[in-house]
Homo-oligomer: A and B are copies of this chain.
Amino acid sequence: MNISIIGSGNMAWHLAHKLKQSGNKILQITGRNEQTAIALAEEVNAVPNFLLQNIDVESELILFCVKDDAIQEIAVSGFKTEAIVAHTSGFRSKNLLENCSPNFGIFYPLQTMKKGMEIPFENIPFLVEGSNDTTTQALQNLALELSKNVHQVSELQRQYIHVAAVFANNFTNHLYELAENLLSEHHSSLDILRPLLAQSAQNVQHTSPAKLQTGPAARKDMFTIEEHLKLLSSHEELTKIYSILTESILRSREIQE
């Protein structure tokens, strides 16, 4: 497929490389950042471009790998094409693109992308959706070239998956950060927890988290919970987070019993 990519950040970097590797031709890298657009274009044998109206008419797919807010900016810029246009946002509506082309959709890899990082594409879930059957099919076929884990989902479903990912991924990482801060205040480091975290992450790969829950709240060990809250008494925010998550664990145990 002849593909033009708008953007030259982390997402553009990974998709450009991977799409080229799997046999597609990357015609252009269109970017606002001259330096990164030229660099990425060179890496994937594409032409750097800086104006939407100059996007190669040979493009069969124009992929918006830009920040959420920039999708809308481009969409209202008056840019028009007959090619498929798709964006890679996990949350924004495909309808943002409806004025750009009759053939628009979503091409969303559910993974954190950082330039240069090794990404095991073959397992990454791709969520695709198109404005019509041909578009959906084209996006699905392209995703299947990169991954065996491709899902056609509705907009609402994708949004719930996105918010679930915030709980399971962003919030958990923040809890790691809070733990790290607490440990460093007490002359220790996250290293002491890393083996436990590795083991737990491995367990949740094949077991339901409801079955893996441990800790004082899961044991209804109210004594330890009270003592923990005493240790945290000088940290208002940690106290609030501890209390609300402990209550939530206690409540979910009640539901299960």
A residues bordering B, Cβ < 8 Å?
Answer: 68-69, 91, 110-112, 119-120, 123-125, 149, 151, 153, 156-157, 159-180, 182-183, 185-188, 190, 192-202, 204-205, 208-210, 212-218, 221, 223-224, 227-228, 231-232, 237-238, 240-242, 244-245, 248-249, 251-252
A194-B205, A210-B177 as given contacts; A215 in contact with B170, CB under 8 Å: yes
Contact of A110 among B125, B163, B168, B196 (CB under 8 A): B196
Q: Which residues of B contact A173 (CB under 8 A)?
A: 200, 204, 209, 212-214
Report the nearest B residue to A187, measured CB to CB: B157
In Å, the complex CA distance between A215 and B168 comes to: 11
Contacting pair B245 A171 (CB below 8 A): yes
Q: Which residues of B contact A69 (CB under 8 A)?
A: 223
Contacting pair A164 B183 (CB below 8 A): yes
Q: Which residues of B contact A111 (CB under 8 A)?
A: 195-196, 199
Q: A68-B223, A110-B195 are known; give 9 further A-B pairs, CB within 8 A.
A: A111-B196, A157-B188, A160-B186, A161-B186, A165-B196, A171-B249, A174-B248, A177-B210, A177-B213
In Å, the complex CA distance between A81 and B151 comes to: 64
Contact of A170 among B91, B157, B244, B249 (CB under 8 A): B249
Q: Which residues of B contact A91 (CB under 8 A)?
A: 216, 224, 227-228
Contact of A201 among B151, B187, B201, B210 (CB under 8 A): B201
Contacting pair A199 B241 (CB below 8 A): no
A91, A123, A160, A221 — which one has the most chain B CB atoms within 10 A of its CB? A160
Contacting pair A168 B186 (CB below 8 A): no
Contacting pair B227 A159 (CB below 8 A): yes
Least Cβ distance of A138 to chain B in Å? 22
Contacting pair B197 A168 (CB below 8 A): yes
Least Cβ distance of A39 to chain B in Å? 23
Least Cβ distance of A213 to chain B in Å? 6
